[in-house]
Every structure is written in structure tokens, then in C-alpha cells.
Amino acid sequence: MGQALIPRDFAHCSVKGFPCVPSSSRRRGTATSRERPARQITWPQPALRPDPRPGDPPDNPPERPCNSATVATYAAWKKLPEAFLRSLDLTDLRYHERPALRIPYFDRAGAEIAVRIRRCLDRDPIQDRRFVWRRGDKPQLYGLDRLGQPAFVVLVEGESDCHTLWYHDVPALGVPGAGTWNEARDARHLEGIARVYVVVEPDRGGEAVKHWLARSVIAERARLVDLAPFKDPSAMHCADPAAFKARFAAALENAVPFGRILAEDRARSTAEAWQACQALATHAVRLHPENETRLLSLTVTDTPEQTRAILRAIAERRVAAVDPGPWLALQHWLAHAEHRVVIPYASALAERIPPVAVRLRRDFGQLLALIHAHAILGCNLIACVPEGRLRSAVPLPRRRD
């Protein structure tokens, strides 16, 4: 056991058994933690781990000084003033005996609700180990304390894009990961904001954003922003900080309403589905032998008299308002109806069908399915058996010799 002197206010900020040093000052206009005398506590040392085996991934990020995340190195990496980042309460700390960057998350009132620690600037070549949350903290939207009531907001992935946009006076919120959006937790913060611009990055994360956005209440107000050839706002800023405002404003101007994208996606998927199934939706008199064994053929009268009757019916048809009420009620009823059906004469029916074609093996199952559906819908033709299932009362057809 080791001994460490840790101020009382720091003890709650442990991450996986190591103390995290919080910011020395709180937000502007918010209360600071009162200084308390230090107290001596016993701090457990981390458990020793066995020597790594060949091929095991490293426990920590690459030991390159240029990859260490501190306020100074992060400012140079993102081409942002260090003083501006410190004004956002970004501070340095030691994590697993190495330098790291402390990024606090605040709620709308300015109270700290989570801390994310950036361990390194660049990705590990084997696994992305750049970030870790303070013990007990959960993902939240980043930048709630700066949101206010803007006319629009830009939704981005991660903190660095927020830092870039805030530096250029663009209102922004950060989702700490493409898959961390929580509808119940996050959508309420965007109520009353007319336009929500969503930056979609050209990777799997961008597809994940589209997936949750399609089910969100903000979908009708969302507009997708394409920053190509840049990956995100931070990359656009680093390429040319002086040209960022003009480039980003043009990207917002060209943003596409998400509703239009959804409609186009539906139309495309419908067309693709039709191409795949149009051979089955046919009115041909003869079918391919393989299809003939899988479909039920219905014969219709095609005499001149029948055609004349159809023409008269079309001429006399009146367009009436469609009342969807009965159809909706039917769907509701079907969802709660009894679906278990007994067909007591199924065996007798099987004996009466002449076994003259192989396709009857499939057709007989379809015939029983039709009787099954008739029993569910024909309430006046069914009766209940003791097990609570429905007994089909459809009369058994007579044998045709």
C-alpha cells in the first residue's frame, strides 16, 4: 500500500484507481469549490499485470512525446489558441503516469456532470485508445452550457469540432460518439431550435448518425452538411484557418433537408425491390415452370361481355372519400385477435385432393392458410374449442368424381 496526500475535493475524481486533478478554477459566473485542508488517505497501488505475450496490444498509447495530449500540444494539433482552450476549462492532468487532457462536460446551468480524458492526440495503430471517461460518468452532449437559444445549431461528433466552431462563433453541440445519441436524454435540448445542421462524416460513424437521426424527433428540422473534401470542421479549419468561415458558411448554405434524403432513399430502395420482384408480379397467362410451382393461379373471365361490364362499372364509378377508420380498427383488432385455429377436416380434405401434380404439395399448404385466415376473419362461422382455439366451420367441399 502506498501513501499519497490528496486534497479532499480531488478524492471523488478517480479514474480506474488513479486520481484526476480537476481544473483549478470553475466556470465563469459559477461557484468554485471551496479550498479545504489536505487530509492523508491510503491510496491502493495498481495491481501488477503479467508480462505481455507476443502479439498482445499495448496497454497504453504509443510513447511518443509528440502524441501526448496536453493543452499545449492539443492547441498546436488543432491550430487553436491555447488561451481560448483554457477558457473552456480544458486542463492538464496525469493519467497512468502520463500527461493527458481533461475535458469537462457541463449541464445547461454550468455544473460539471462528466469528464472525458484525452490520453493522446493520434490513434493507436492497433486500437483507438485516445479517450476514457471518468469513473462513473456517462456520455452526454458536449457544450450544453454554451447553447442558449440560437436560431440554429450545428451537431458534430466529438469535442474538437465544437472547439473549432466555438472559436469561429458558430453555435455547436458535440455527440461524444456517433452511436452515443440518446433520444430521451438529448432531443429535449434541441426543442425550439428551428434548424439543426448535422455534420455527417464520410465513414461508418456517418452512417450510424443517419440511422438514429431517421428515428429522432429532430429529423424534420435536421439538415445534413457535407464538408467534402474535408472530414470534419476541425480538418477544414486546420487546412486553412483564414478561409474557414467562408467555406463553412457555404457548406451550411448547401445543406440538404434530411426529410428529402429519406424520401430519395425510400424511392431508391422501392425501385430496387421492384427490380428484384417484378417477375413475380405478372399477369401473364403462362408462367415459368419454377414459378408455377410456387404461385397460385387465378383464372378470370376474358369474354367480350365481361369486358363490356367492366367498362360500364368504370364509367359509373364515383370517387368517394376514403375513411381509414375501419381499416385502422381492423389492424388493431387483428393484433389482439385469436390466431390459433383448428381445421378438423384437414386430413379428410387431403384425401379428397387428387395427387396429380407435384405443385399440390405447396398448394395444399396455401389452401389450409386461406381456411385459417377465413376462420379468423369470419367470426360468424367459427366456434371455440376447449383449449381456447378457433374451430373452422367452413364446410368441407364435396368430392368431384
pLDDT band at 7 (very low <50, low <70, confident <90, very high): very low
* Model-wide pTM > 0.85: no
Q: Does residue 303 fall inside a structural domain?
A: no
pLDDT at position 299 is 73
Q: Are 152 and 173 in contact (CB under 8 A)?
A: no
Task: State the CB neighbour count (10 A cutoff) for residue 367.
Answer: 16
User: Which of 242, 261, 276 delimits the end of a domain?
Assistant: 276
Mean pLDDT of all residues belonging to the chain: 77
Q: Does residue 315 fall inside a structural domain?
A: no
Q: Are strands 195-199 and 222-225 parallel, antiparallel or unpaired?
A: parallel
* 104/288 Cα distance (integer angstroms): 67
Instruction: State which amino acid sits at residue 165.
Output: L
Q: Does residue 293 fall inside a structural domain?
A: no
* One domain for residues 358 and 380: yes
* 391/102 Cα distance (integer angstroms): 69
pLDDT at position 393 is 56
pLDDT digits (tens, 9 = 90+) for 74-127: 999 999 999 999 999 999 999 988 999 999 999 999 999 999 999 989 887 777
Task: State the CB neighbour count (10 A cutoff) for residue 314.
Answer: 8
pLDDT band at 70 (very low <50, low <70, confident <90, very high): very high
| Model confidence at 15: pLDDT above 50 | no
pLDDT digits (tens, 9 = 90+) for 222-244: 999 999 999 999 999 999 999 99
* 270/213 Cα distance (integer angstroms): 21
Q: Does residue 290 fall inside a structural domain?
A: no
pLDDT digits (tens, 9 = 90+) for 168-193: 999 999 998 878 899 999 999 999 99
User: Which of 138, 159, 185 delimits the end of a domain?
Assistant: 138
User: Which of 89, 120, 138 delimits the end of a domain?
Assistant: 138
Helix segments in 98-239, DSSP class H: 159-167, 183-186, 204-213, 233-239
* One domain for residues 133 and 151: no
* One domain for residues 237 and 185: yes
Phi, psi (deg, nearest 5) at residue 5? -95, 115
pLDDT digits (tens, 9 = 90+) for 326-383: 777 777 767 766 778 888 889 999 999 998 888 888 888 888 888 888 887 765 444 4
Domain count, the chain: 3
Closest CA to 399 of 351, 358, 347: 351
The answer for residues whose C-beta is within 8 angstroms of residue 66's C-beta and 6 or more apart is 73, 121
* Domain interval for residue 258: 139-276
| Model confidence at 60: pLDDT above 60 | no
* One domain for residues 86 and 207: no
pLDDT band at 264 (very low <50, low <70, confident <90, very high): confident
> Cα 167–255–234 angle (5° rounding)?
30
